[in-house]
Structure 1
Amino acid sequence: MTGPDPFREHRNLLFSVAYRILGTAADAEDAVQDTWVKWSAADRSQVADPRAYLVRIVSNVAMDRLRSAQARRETYVGPWLPEPILTSADTADDVTTAESVSLALLVVLETLSPLERAVFVLKEAFGFTYAEIADAVARSEDAVRQAARRAREHVHSRRPRFHVDRARQREVTEQFVAAAAGGDINTLMELLAPDVTLWTDGGGKVRQAMRPVIGAERVAAWFAGVATRPYQGIAPADMAAEVVDLNGAPGVVFSGAGRVIATLSLDLDERGRITAIHNVANPDKLRSVATRIIHPIRPDR
Structure 2
Amino acid sequence: MTTDTVTDVFEAHRPVLMGVAYRMLGRVADAEDVVQDAWLRWSAGDRAEVREPRGYLVRVTTRLAIDRLRRIKSRGETYVGPWLPEPYVTDFGDTVPDTAERAVLADSVSLAVLVVMESLSPLERAVFVLREAFGYPYADIAAVLDRGEPAVRQLAGRARKHVAERRPRYQVDPAERRDLTERFLAAATDGDLQGLLELLAPDVRLVGDSGGKSRAPLRVLESADHVGRFLLGAARKSVPALSLRFLEVNGGLAVLALSGDEPDSVFQLDVADGRIRTVYVLRNPDKLTSLAAAL
TM-score normalised over the length of structure 1: 0.89
User: Is 1:70 matched with 2:73?
Assistant: yes
Residues of 1 paired with 2:186 and 2:214: CA distance?
Answer: 23
Residues of 1 paired with 2:72 and 2:198: CA distance?
Answer: 38
Residue-by-residue CA offset, 1:146-196 (whole Å, 9 max, x unaligned) = 111111111111125654332111001111122122222212211111111
User: Is 1:118 matched with 2:126?
Assistant: yes
Paired position in structure 2 for 1:280: 282
> Is 1:174–1:243's contact at 8 Å kept on the other side of the alignment?
no
Cα distance change, pair 152–187 in 1 and its aligned pair in 2 (3 A)? same
Comparing both structures, which one devotes a greater share of its residues to helix? 2
Paired position in structure 2 for 1:246: 249
Residues 1-301 of structure 1 aligned to structure 2 (within 5 Å): 2=2, 4-5=5-6, 6-71=9-74, 74-88=77-91, 90=93, 94-159=102-167, 162-230=170-238, 236-269=239-272, 271-293=273-295
Residues of 2 paired with 1:258 and 1:249: CA distance?
Answer: 23
Query: What's the RMSD between the two structures over aligned residues?
Result: 1.9
Paired position in structure 2 for 1:233: none
> Is 1:120–1:151's contact at 8 Å kept on the other side of the alignment?
yes
| Local SS of the residue matching 2:58 | helix
> Is 1:63–1:114's contact at 8 Å kept on the other side of the alignment?
yes
| Local SS of the residue matching 1:4 | helix
> Is 1:180–1:227's contact at 8 Å kept on the other side of the alignment?
yes
Residues of 1 paired with 2:169 and 2:54: CA distance?
Answer: 30
Paired position in structure 2 for 1:296: none
Residue-by-residue CA offset, 1:197-221 (whole Å, 9 max, x unaligned) = 1111111211111111111111001
Cα distance change, pair 96–162 in 1 and its aligned pair in 2 (3 A)? farther
Name the % identity. 49
> Is 2:173–2:271's contact at 8 Å kept on the other side of the alignment?
no
> Is 2:112–2:168's contact at 8 Å kept on the other side of the alignment?
no
Paired position in structure 2 for 1:299: none
Unaligned runs of 5+ in 2: none
C-alpha displacement at 1:263, in angstroms? 0.3
> Is 1:242–1:254's contact at 8 Å kept on the other side of the alignment?
yes
Unaligned runs of 5+ in 1: 231-235, 294-301
> Is 1:83–1:285's contact at 8 Å kept on the other side of the alignment?
yes
Residues of 2 paired with 1:47 and 1:161: CA distance?
Answer: 42
Cα distance change, pair 116–89 in 1 and its aligned pair in 2 (3 A)? closer
C-alpha displacement at 1:257, in angstroms? 2.4
Cα distance change, pair 150–272 in 1 and its aligned pair in 2 (3 A)? farther
TM-score normalised over the length of structure 2: 0.91
Give the length in aligned residue pairs: 287
| Local SS of the residue matching 2:129 | helix
Cα distance change, pair 274–102 in 1 and its aligned pair in 2 (3 A)? same
Cα distance change, pair 164–81 in 1 and its aligned pair in 2 (3 A)? closer
Match of 1:277, as an amino acid? V
Match of 1:220, as an amino acid? G
C-alpha displacement at 1:251, in angstroms? 0.9
> Is 2:24–2:126's contact at 8 Å kept on the other side of the alignment?
yes
Cα distance change, pair 110–48 in 1 and its aligned pair in 2 (3 A)? same
